[in-house]
Structure 1
């Protein structure tokens, strides 16, 4: 497979997942602000901007500012609109191997951004999630399970681990966990699965454990890291007799084992710090993948967040 095609597929997966998860994070933030009147809006918005890697902005942070910076503004590198636009550009570069259905789904989503901006925030977030789910389903039904699929899934899985870490940081920083954690579970589509897994017990510790460590739920961090490792394993030609010659596999494997084998109490004691460490691991893995597989990897880089 040509390097530019592999790179485009990798970033299609990342950009689409970034748009989806940013909508989920914003949905959590907006609901918490509405449901917890005692929360300081400025502090909460500043924390969210920090979690999302937005360091430079003008004015006092509030819900309307974060909607502009993280949702509507195509000039903001961390916005949903920018991620969808970048996914379309990546799809255009890989047009010769993408099915017509995938291209049409991505292009239609990009063209619908203007209408989405006029929606109420909850309706826009739902629209983004539905469009991303449709594109993911179309890709799953129309792409051969070849190298292209592995690069697509690799990008998607790394981005999902990173963005779920940001979502957990957002929930942990909220002043009212009794509001934040149920909302976070619903934003991940995990509430019903969580209730079944823990037989109706709703507690912050169990919610964090489920989104961090559950191997069966596809949006958990460990599940995403396992999926990324599987994709890398299938892309590797011949494995070494000992250790890992693939730096990305080593970085992701170490991040996963540090989550799985450490006591949960240590992880949740300072969850934002632990999630920032995981984001750095995802960034290092992405850089290693770029150096190994992509010749012109500087073409695609996150400029507004921790992830490259």
Structure 2
């Protein structure tokens, strides 16, 4: 594909690589410390047959919190808005993504939004399936459909590493169970949640998922894989809550609906235009890819992609 992004995008990737030295790997999940902190990559997909990429874009990494966007979409498709938003709110929070503080102070004690850990746990508890494996298989099949990649799976080592260090998430889940936000076996929920976060993708997979969201839920073949209203809701949360407690600054500097994960991935959807996938495992103190954020700032400014 003859593409407008050529040399300029390559220059931007190399320019932001220096920022990887300012970030840190997510060492509270031991398996994630095996990443190469110097990696930076991007893929851009506009619905044509080829995805345009620069950097180490074939490197696979786990979704981590990017999965919150996808489980939210699936839960909304499973149950509808009324059921889902009875269990989780719609408001941003200035607290860290793993904070328990708002659960204690809010009445009722439901999470403020689906993009923080408590909210994602509540949403994950709604996914239909008799067993953990059935839920995981359903979610992987759905992510495969969105990305057009039928070979997706989850990284068992990362999932186990997350499960063994998930005590804070256990606390959040047990607190919500006590207050009637979620029901059922907490350990089974944690097993599903950690495997959900450990689904492996590439930048190109993220770019193709982002394109579906950008294109009102339709893929490049004009087939609807997400209802348009669900895609709209998901993109709205990406704008207001998708970059943890840096979402406001990101909206001003970049202005693209996006969701990050502590593996260093960022999923972006430029409405009616593009899907963008970013990878850079060196993180800032809020849990976002430090080079990835800077790269998106450059891309948005240069190609005038801000929605604001």
TM norm structure 1: 0.30
Instruction: Report the structure, 1 or 2, having the larger helix content.
Output: 1
TM norm structure 2: 0.30
